Amino acid sequence: MNIQGLQKLSLLDYPTKISCTIFTGGCNLYCPFCHNASLVFLGQMAMESIPVDSVLSFLKKRRKVLDAVCISGGEPLLQRDLEEFLKQVKELGYLIKLDTNGTFPDLLQQFVEKELVDYVAMDIKNSLGKYCMTVGLRSFDTKVVEESVQYLLKNPVEYEFRTTVVRQFHQAEDFISIGKWIHGAKNYFLQSFVDSGNLIENDLSGYSKREMEQFQQLLSQDIPNVMLRGV
């Protein structure tokens, strides 16, 4: 496990639960607006990581305080030892939330069916026609994310879809398309882009609260529960 960060307390990352968040290094996408840009490239470098034993020791001590552990990144499903780590965390009695970009549908399904994941937050980067430009790759086959979406829409686990909304990448027609794509989804969050100062690309901007509410209204025709974050 390439663990590059540990947020020891969060009241926001796991809905209704007190959690900590573990950040893994490395990602297979290069979204220009990623707010954890340094983590994207850490999978390619021989960087020192936080020892798994240290993280597990922390979790053992915090069992009476924390309800859940969020695994984020980067893209956690790139980690070869993730399954064993999830098992160890579950043995400590924690709920587990997985943040993923949805590009590994087989692993996602495997971990859910083995009851190693209790909640999934999957990124919807953009409408399918604009996925390639939005994830920062010259070519990208959307079949993998489509497969992950279809799996989660069957409600095998608690889940949410979410999109970070960036003025340079997202327009109204994209949300109309996304609404048709994930029609009937349980929960969909539109997250307002905020410049973290740690981006892959500069000179990006978000939308106003009023504009975000307009996107929300467009989506409500297909998704009953569309919520805004960070506005």
Question: pLDDT tens digits for 3-23?
Answer: 999 999 999 999 999 999 999
Confidence of residue 46 (pLDDT cuts 50, 70, 90): very low
By the 8 A CB rule, do 205 and 166 touch?
A: yes
What pLDDT score was predicted for residue 61?
A: 97
What angle is formed at CA 66 by the lines to CA 77 and CA 70, rounded to 5 degrees? 15
What is the average pLDDT value for the chain, to the nearest integer?
A: 93
What pLDDT score was predicted for residue 48?
A: 66
Write out pLDDT tens, residues 72-110.
998 999 999 999 999 999 999 999 999 999 999 999 999
Q: Helices in 3-103 by DSSP H: which ranges?
A: 37-42, 52-61, 82-91
> What span, in angstroms and rounded, lies between the C-alpha atoms of 26 and 116?
21
Give the percent of the chain with pLDDT over 70. Answer: 97
| Highest mean predicted confidence (pLDDT) among 27-36, 103-112, 201-210 | 103-112
- Which contiguous run of DSSP H or E holds residue 119? strand 119-123
Average pLDDT over residues 113-118: 98
What residue has token string 């790759």? 137
What residue has token string 């978000």? 206
The gap between the terminal CA atoms of the chain, to the nearest Å, is 34
Q: In angstroms, what CA-CA distances link 57 with 54, 71, 83, 126, 197?
A: 5, 16, 18, 39, 32
Average pLDDT over residues 196-209: 85
Q: Is pLDDT larger for residue 45 or for residue 26?
A: 26
Residue 64 has pLDDT above 60, yes or no: yes
Residue 45 has pLDDT above 60, yes or no: no
> What span, in angstroms and rounded, lies between the C-alpha atoms of 104 and 13?
22
What pLDDT score was predicted for residue 196?
A: 76
Domain that holds residue 41: 3-229
The phi and psi torsions of 83 (rounded to 5 degrees) equal -60, -45
By the 8 A CB rule, do 37 and 84 touch?
A: no
> Domain of 32: which CATH number?
3.20.20.70
Number of separate domains in the chain:
1
Cis peptide before 179 (omega within 30 of 0): no
Edge-to-edge strands, sheet with 68-72? 3-10, 19-24, 68-72, 95-100, 119-123, 158-165, 188-192, 226-229
What pLDDT score was predicted for residue 178?
A: 98
